[in-house]
Structure 1
Amino acid sequence: MLKKSILAVLTLLVLAACSNKEDDLTTEEREKVIEDGTAGYEMMGGEVQKATNVPANEEKAILAAFDEYIASFNDKDIERYMNTISKDPKGFNYDEDKKLAEEVFDQFDAKRDVTNVTIAKYNEDEAQVFANMTTHSLQVETNVEHESAGRQVTVFVKEDGEWKVTSVFYIGDDTKSSTGNQ
C-alpha cells in the first residue's frame, strides 16, 4: 500500500504541468499523441530529429527556458519554477500545478536529469522540446527512494516575449523505474 501511494505521488511529481486529458490515456495512446498529435517529433535511427527552422536566437532562448524549468525544479525554488510556467497554460491549471509543486518540494528530495534535449517542432508562437528524463527522488518522511525514466515533450509558448511551459507530454519507461529503501 505504501509503495502504491508513493508511486502515485511520484507520478504526479513527474507529470507536474501535464495535460489533464492525457492522464486517461494508455501508454500506446500517449505515444500516438506525441508522435502524431498535439506534441510531435520524428525519430531517425533512434535519435529525435531536430527542427531545422529554428532561428539561432530563438533556439538559445528556448533551450535556456527549458534549462531554467529543470533547474528551478531541481532547486525546489517555487517562485523560479512558476516563473517558467505559462500564466494561461493549455494542458493544466496554473494554481493546481503550483500547489502540487509545493507539495512535492516539501515531501521529496527530487532531481530531474535530462539528456538528448532537442527542439523537435518550432513556429514563432510555439516550440516543442523533446528530452529523455530520469527523475530521482527520495521521500523524506519514509526514506523510500524511487527512480523513473521516460521521454518528455515540453511545449512552450511565447508569453510577453518569453518562452513559458504550456503543456507537458510524458511517456514513462517502466523497465527503467525502480522503488526501494535506502
Structure 2
Amino acid sequence: MKKKLAVASMALVLVLGACGNADETNQNNPETGEPAPGSGAIDHGVDENKVGFSMSGDKVEEATDVPKEDKEEILAAFDNYIETLNNQDVEGYLTTLSTKGYDLEEERQATEEMLENSTMKRETDHETIVKYSGDSAQLFSTLKTTFTDIETEVENTHEGRQVTVFNKEDGAWKVFSIHFIGDEPVKE
C-alpha cells in the first residue's frame, strides 16, 4: 500500500508540476528552505516576465484588460482541462496542452500510469484571470485534488492554489504550464 501511495504522490507531482521554464521558477534559500524575498505566492506582484498573482487582503486581483470573448474562451479551456482528467479522458486531456510547453508522449505515459492505479477528481474554485496579453494568459484558481486508489479505495487529497499559464496556439487556448502551491494540511 505504501508503494501505491508513493505512486499517487509521484503522479501528483507529474500532473501538477508541469513543464515550466526554469527561469520562471522561484528558488528557496538553500540554507533555510525559506522562500527568497519577493518569491512568496501572496507577497509578490505580477511581473511582465514571471508567473504570479497579487492579492489585496484575501482577494486575488483580476486582470482588467481581458476582452469578453477571450475571457470566455480561457475559462472554457480551463474547464475542459480539468474535466478531461476527471473523466479519465487521456486523449481529451492531451488536446488541452500546448505542444510548446509539454512533451505530449511523456505526458501521455505519466497520465496513463497514474490512471492505471488510481482515479483522480479535481475541484476548482475562484477561477480568476490575473494576467493577460493577446496570446497568453494566467489563470489563478484554488484546487482540491483527490486521488483514490482503485484497489484499496484509499483517498489522498491535496489542496492548494494554482496558476495555469495559457498560450493561444492556432486560435485555441492551450495549457502551457502550471504552477501549484500546496496548502498545509489542516490539523484536527
Residues 99/131 of structure 1: CA separation in 2 closer, same or farther (3 Å cut): same
Structure 2 CA distance for aligned equivalents of residues 176 and 79 of structure 1: 35
Structure 1 CA distance for aligned equivalents of residues 95 and 133 of structure 2: 22
TM-score (norm 2): 0.81
Shift of 1:16: 5.3
Residues 115/175 of structure 1: CA separation in 2 closer, same or farther (3 Å cut): same
Match of 1:61 in 2: 73
Shift of 1:143: 2.8
Question: Which shows bigger deviation, 142-151 or 122-131?
Answer: 142-151
* Aligned with 1:164 (options 164, 174, 178): 174
Post-superposition CA distance 1:111-162 (Å, at most 9, x none): 0000000000000010000000000111113432100000000000000000
Structure 2 CA distance for aligned equivalents of residues 88 and 150 of structure 1: 26
Residues 24/176 of structure 1: CA separation in 2 closer, same or farther (3 Å cut): farther
| Identical pairs, percent | 39
Unmatched runs of 5 consecutive residues or more in structure 2 = 29-33
Shift of 1:6: 4.2
Where 2:63 maps in the other structure, the secondary structure is coil
TM-score (norm 1): 0.83
Where 1:54 maps in the other structure, the secondary structure is coil
In terms of fraction of residues, the more helix-rich structure is: 1
* Aligned with 1:140 (options 150, 155, 161): 150
Shift of 1:83: 0.6
Where 1:174 maps in the other structure, the secondary structure is coil
- For the aligned residue pairs, the C-alpha RMSD in angstroms reads 2.8
**Residue 16 of structure 1 contacts residue 97 of structure 1 at CA under 8 Å; is this kept in 2?**
no
Q: Which amino acid aligns with 1:28?
A: P
Q: Which amino acid aligns with 1:60?
A: E
Where 1:131 maps in the other structure, the secondary structure is strand
Shift of 1:86: 0.6
Match of 2:92 in 1: 80
Post-superposition CA distance 1:95-123 (Å, at most 9, x none): 21121111122221110000000000000
Structure number, greater radius of gyration? 2
Q: Which amino acid aligns with 2:175?
A: V
Match of 1:47 in 2: 59
Shift of 1:23: 8.5
Q: Which amino acid aligns with 1:74?
A: N
Match of 1:2 in 2: 2
Match of 1:120 in 2: 130
Unmatched runs of 5 consecutive residues or more in structure 1 = 178-182
